[in-house]
Amino acid sequence: MNNTKGINRISDTVPEGVYTQNQQVRGYIHSITPLGYRVCFDDKYFGLLYKDEISGEYELNQKVDVYIKKVREDFKVDLSVQKVGYIESSKDVRTKILEALKKSNGVLRLSDKSSPELIFNELGMSKKKFKDGIGSLYREKVIVIYDDRVELKKDS
C-alpha cells in the first residue's frame, strides 16, 4: 500500500495483544520525522524506527524487516532493526572498533562528540552503538578516550 489513496486506513495505534516484543514485521519507510523513520507495517499500522538506534539511512518507500521493540501504553509502536536484547551486537561493535583501531595504528579520530554521520561513514554503526562500544572497551581498560579521539592503550 505505497499509494496515498488508502492511507487513511493506516492506524497510528495497534489493537491490544496483537503484537509482542521481538515479533518481526515487514513494512516500508513511509515518512521521515525529526525522531526517525515512520514505518508502515503489515499494511495497516504505523510504527517509529528511531534514528539514534540505527546505522545508516533509509529511503522513502524502502522495504524493511523490523522488530516490535515495544507497544507503548498509548498502543503506538516503537520499532527496531534487531531484536531487543540482541547480545552479539555489543560484541560485534567492540570487535569492529578494535579492528579499526588496529588498522589505524591504534588511533581513531572519533569520539563521543563526533557527528553520527562521521561515525557511520568511518565504522558503519550508529553513534549510540559506538558510544556503548567505547564505553565497554574503556571499562575493560583497553582504550583511552580523549575529546577528539580514541586510542588503544599501549599495553594492549
Q: Note the pLDDT tens digit of each residue in 72-89.
A: 999 999 999 887 775 446
In this structure, which CATH number among 3.40.50.300, 1.10.1040.10, 1.10.10.10, 3.90.1150.10 belongs to the domain 88-152? 1.10.10.10
Q: What is the CATH number that goes with domain 7-80?
A: 2.40.50.140
* pTM of the predicted protein model: 0.54
Instruction: Name which of 82, 73, 10 is nearest 49 in CA terms.
Output: 82
Q: Are 113 and 147 in contact (CB under 8 A)?
A: yes
Instruction: Name which of 131, 87, 137, 86 is nearest 113 in CA terms.
Output: 131
The string of pLDDT tens digits covering residues 9-21 is 899 999 999 999 9
Q: Domains of the chain: which residue ranges?
A: 7-80, 88-152
Q: Is 33 helix (H, G, I), strand (E, B) or coil?
A: coil
Instruction: Name which of 88, 156, 81 is nearest 126 in CA terms.
Output: 81
The string of pLDDT tens digits covering residues 21-34 is 999 999 999 999 99
Question: Identity (one letter) of the amino acid at 45?
Answer: Y
